[in-house]
Structure 1
Amino acid sequence: MAYRKPISRLLFLRTVSIAIQLLTVIVMHFSIGTHDYIGALLLIIAFETLFNLSSIVYFARLNATNFALALQILADISFLSLLLFYSGGATNAFVSLLLLPLIIAAVCLPLSWLALCSMTAVGFYTLLVINMPAHDLHHMDMQEHFLGMWINFVLSALVVTTTISALVKANANKEKQMALQREETLRSEQLMALGTAAAQVTHHLATPIANLQMLYEDLLDELGNDNALLKEMAVPLSQCNQQLSYFRNYASEIKDNAQAPILVSTLLSEFHDACLLHFPEQHIELINESDTTTEILTDGLLLSALINVVQNAVDANKHVNKNKVVIRVFEFSNRLNIEITDEGNGFDLELLDSLGHETIKSQKGMGIALFLSNTTVNKLGGEIRIENINNAGAKVTVRLPLI
């Protein structure tokens, strides 16, 4: 996991902290007039400044991992502990500032790294208490007081880290659910728009086809049934009417989101026939390892979604002058798996995580085919997995739940 914003904020906060530290040391020097520890404090601040500048230069071009963030926070705890050590130790009024790096860690880091930072802060605070001068410990019997302070710091660190970490996790889960709901709403709207567009196209085609049918019937009355041209015209006109009826039902199914069970064998037969019809130049190899009696839910878009995936595989093959697409079907974990493998160059690694989940720029368009396919499969309770195969193209797996 890599990200840039948390490290930028951390470096900015450290820069502000260094400025405040330097200003505090200068004010204390001129107001109180103490000189015994000023040099040590300025030296620590100088090293902290050098470390901060090095981090800014290093992370200007690179992203920060959880490991890098943890090291930065551990460095902040170390520098702050050294400053406290040379300015009163556990008796310093600002010793509770050790909790600030833990708050940042609770927001930015997972539990394992957060635990390490917490133990480090508690360890440094323990050393500050242990290394206090003896006269401070025995003066007015302050041992119980400093022990209470240590227990208070440990409990505060525990409460702060667990509470903030839990709140951050809950907020992240809530935002994730809201994002998923927004995605689902957008996908539903896009499918509705697709159904509306299909209905409009059907309506626009219905009028000219009806006019052609009327002209055909008028010519049939005038020229009779024996006319050769009219006989030839009857076949494509009948096909147009059949296709128009199919598109009308298709648009209605899309708008109504109608779903119905279908035998896997029936779906595969229609899918294979459609592949042979649409891609006659490709060698489509179907390997069916599934039970022919099982069923899945389907709608009017599922077959088109599968054809879209094959279309991408065919396009990938054409880029490298290959013509083989392997479709392997099997059942696993109560799901029907349809693996579609091509022999192309594979998907762009930078876009691999986004394919199917959003429209993205590609050489042939905006990735809308895979996006719509993924939307259709998700509405049926399935998922699409995309991966590259080393030196062998790409593999897209469509997983659908069995009934």
Structure 2
Amino acid sequence: MTTTAHAAASAARSAAPSAGDPIRAQGLGADSLLSLRRVYWLRWAILGGQALLLVCAETLAGLQLPYRPLLTIFALQAVFNLLTAWRLRQHARAGSVPGDAELMGQLLVDLTALSAILFFTGGATNPFVSFYLPGLALAAAIVPWRQVVALALYALACYSLMLFEYVPLHLHNPDNAVVYHLVGMWLNFVASAVMIALFVARLSGVLREREAQLADARERLLREARVESLNAQAATVAHEIGTPLATLAVIAGELRADAADPARGGTAIRDYLPDLHTVEQQLTLCRGILARLREANRASALQPVGHWLPAFADGWQLRHPQARIETMIAAEAADVPIEPARTGQMLTILLDNAARSQQTAGRGDLPLRLSITMEPRSAPRELLLRVIDHGTGMPAALRARLGETPVASTHGGQGIGAYLAQSVARQMGGRLLWQDRPEGGTVAELRLPATPDSSEHAA
């Protein structure tokens, strides 16, 4: 077990992604594409607001604006946004994502357009001059800090230049300048707050969600690394145990032949003839298990669960002659195809655990129940396999951890089988659950998709 733990830890460390791993790169790439799309739509919203202010400025505020240069700037912004839409379609067709330089270029164009508009509308005296800040907050959310610093220096340079060079605003009534300035500051605050609330806060939420997905992916890789380590250990054990089993089979065969020899009918060995038959059966079963392990990487044909279940139950009963098993299969589930190898592996682990739990509880004479039905409330349809025992049950804390990591159980197990079964179930698109029975014991539920994934099966 120490060797297994070290191998699992080593494999987990090698599988855990670093800051520059492909999983993280894929997540950040999707974020950059989402950021570009949001910048695109935000630019249309800002252009609409600017056009509305341009139309209403003279009527409501008595401002005389230079329409020609402003309309030229608006038109250039619209053309640039159409190019951005074309660029988004290119990324969608090629399956690519925008880089940091492309995002910085987008923000640089927006800051330049804002500076040009402010230049023709009062420069630093324009109450909307602080609109630089939401743009820089946006930049801080989507590009690296070095580029944010560069954009901040560029905005500072533009702002500083407009302290001295700008086209003054012309008011029809200069006495209302203070009122109009306060109203403009209020509008600027509202626009900035809406921009930050709807974009930056939403983007931060998406980034947090992406980090959670990356953490889940790392945990999944860690579990798979542990399973691969356990599989490697199992393959090594299977290779090493083959020779001793063959030796035992030869010895058992010779002893059975001696016990069956009529010439030795008076010797004590003849009394052990039934036991020797049982030993040979168990050794044949062990060799069959090793053969299945060697062929585990080969794709097995799907079988209807109703055709597969009786042979599986007989094989399990042969391994546990002291236990009893009762099977029940619903009519609607009998024709559902399953993968016999992996499904049998998981059910064997669940039934073995259930049998040990009943033995520990002193109820080994009671039968285990294995039922297979269809889950009526699930979409897509699920095959529900239940293993019900009358054993000792399990504490809630153990039940929550079982299958997620190897843990010691109340009847001496280490939880490795349940851990492997949970991993196989997830690979097949299903899951394992454990519940307490009010009458005592445990219900283990294996839920599998009613239509197995052909690609997963082929793998």
TM-score, with structure 2 as normaliser: 0.48
Structure 1, unaligned stretches of length 5 or more? 1-92, 104-136
Please name the residue that 1:267 is paired with.
Answer: 308
Deviation at 1:210, TM superposition (A): 5.2
In 2, the alpha carbon distance for the partners of 1:212 and 1:282 equals 24
Task: State whether residues 382 and 401 of structure 1, in contact with CA within 8 Å, keep that contact through their aligned partners in structure 2.
Answer: yes
1:172 maps to 212
C-alpha spacing 1:305/1:147, structure 2 compared with 1 (3 Å): closer
Q: 1:348 maps to what in 2?
A: 395
Stretch deviating more after TM superposition (377-386 or 315-324)? 315-324
How big is the shift at 1:261?
2.2
* Separation (CA, whole Å) in 1 of partners of 2:244 and 2:202: 63
**Residues 211 and 274 (structure 1 numbering): CA distance in 2 closer, same or farther, change over 3 Å?**
closer
Query: Which of 146, 152, 160 is 2:192 aligned to?
Result: 152
Is residue 363 of structure 2 the alignment partner of residue 328 of structure 1? no
**1:376–1:196: structure 2 CA closer, same or farther, 3 Å change rule?**
farther
Q: Give the 3-state SS of the residue equivalent to 1:357 in structure 2.
A: coil
Match of 1:249 in 2: 291
Structure 1 CA distance, aligned partners of 2:184 and 2:279? 99
What amino acid does structure 1 have at the position aligned with 2:238?
Answer: A
**1:70-219 superposed matches below 5 A:** 141-207=181-247, 209=249
The one-character-per-residue Cα deviations of 1:161-220 (angstroms, maximum 9, x if unpaired) are: 111111111222122123223322332332232122122111333356557879999x9x
What is the SS of the residue equivalent to 1:305?
helix
Residue 352 of structure 1 aligns to a residue whose secondary structure is: helix
Helix, strand or coil at the partner of 1:385: strand
Q: What letter matches 2:326 in structure 1?
A: E
One-letter amino acid of the structure 2 residue matched with residue 325 of structure 1 = L
| 1:339 aligned counterpart, secondary structure | strand
Shift of 1:304: 4.5
Instruction: Output one character per residue of 1:253-296: Cα deviation in whole Å (capped at 9) or x when no partner.
Output: 23x35433233234321333345445556553322214444431
The match for 1:287 is: 328
Indicate the residue corresponding to 2:384 in structure 1: 337
Counterparts of 1:272 and 1:259 in 2: how far apart (Å)?
19
Deviations 1:329-372 (A, max 9, x none): 11345443211123345332223332112112333232122112
Residues 138 and 320 of structure 1: CA distance in aligned 2, closer, same or farther (over 3 Å): farther
Asked whether the 8 Å contact 1:335–1:402 carries over to 2, the reply is: yes
Please report the RMSD computed on the Cα atoms of aligned residues, expressed in angstroms.
Answer: 4.4
Q: Counterpart in 2 of 1:32? A: none
Change (3 A) 1:227 1:305: same
Is 1:400 aligned with 2:400?
A: no
SS at 2:399 equivalent: coil
Q: String of CA shifts for 1:68-97, please: whole Å, max 9, x gaps.
A: xxxxxxxxxxxxxxxxxxxxxxxxx9xx9x
Q: CA deviation at 1:310?
A: 2.1
Deviations 1:235-257 (A, max 9, x none): 67865774464244123123x35
Structure 2 counterpart of 1:305: 346
Aligned partners of 2:213, 2:424: CA distance in 1, in Å?
25
Describe the SS at the equivalent of 1:359: coil
Matched to 1:337, the amino acid is L
Where do 5+ consecutive residues of structure 2 fail to align? 1-129, 141-176, 452-459
What TM-score do you get using the length of structure 1 for normalisation? 0.54
Match of 2:409 among 353, 356, 362: 362
User: What per-residue deviation string (whole Å, max 9, x for no partner) do you get for residues 139-172 of structure 1?
Assistant: 7842322331232123223222111111111222
Matches within 5 A, 1:8-47: none
Question: Which is bigger in relative contact order (C-alpha 8 A, separation at least 6)?
Answer: 2
Partner of 1:68: none
| Pairwise CA distance, 1:397 | 1.1
SS in 2 for 1:351: helix
Give me the identity figure in percent: 18
Aligned 8 A contact 2:354 2:368 in 1: yes
Q: 1:168 to 1:268 in 2, by over 3 A?
A: same
Counterpart code for 2:292 = Y
1:387 paired residue number: 435
Q: Partner letter of residue 338 of structure 2?
A: I
- Shifted more, 195-204 versus 281-290: the winner is 281-290
Cα distance in structure 1, aligned partners of 2:283 and 2:390 = 39
Separation in 1, partners of 2:187, 2:299: 70
Q: Residues 392, 366 of structure 1: CA spacing in aligned structure 2 closer, same or farther, 3 A cutoff? A: same
Q: Does 1:314 align with 2:384?
A: no
Kept in 1, the 8 Å contact 2:285–2:319? The answer is no
Change beyond 3 A, Cα 1:304–1:227: farther
